[in-house]
């Protein structure tokens, strides 16, 4: 099932399915950070009160604002 990464809890892993952002510059920005379709991503921390998410991709931790994170569609792994 496809869902935004913001619906996952800390410690959950998922595979990136789609980037829904408008325009190619948005997708290019995410791809330069290593976020692209098919990549495995892990949620390290979810800050409260609509704060950012910290995700791990390829051994690096990246902080994403909720607005951007809502546009990253993933398939959760068990």
For the chain, state the CA radius of gyration.
11
Mean pLDDT taken over the chain: 93
Please state the pTM of the whole predicted model: 0.89
Residue 31 and residue 8: Cα distance in Å, rounded?
A: 21
Give residue 43's domain range. 2-76
Which tens digit of pLDDT belongs to each residue from 36-64?
Answer: 999 999 999 999 998 999 999 999 999 99
User: Are 37 and 19 within 8 A, CB to CB?
Assistant: yes
* Domain harbouring 61, CATH code: 2.30.30.90
Q: Is the per-residue pLDDT at 23 higher than 80? A: no
Q: How many domains does the chain have?
A: 1
């Amino acid at each position: 099932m496809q869902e935004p990464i913001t619906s996952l809890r800390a410690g959950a892993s998922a595979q990136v399915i789609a980037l829904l952002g408008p325009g190619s510059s948005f997708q290019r920005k995410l791809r330069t950070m290593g976020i692209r379709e098919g990549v495995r991503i892990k949620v390290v921390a979810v800050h409260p009160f609509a704060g950012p998410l910290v995700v791990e991709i390829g051994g690096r931790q990246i902080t994403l604002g909720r607005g951007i994170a809502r546009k990253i569609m993933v398939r959760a792994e068990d």
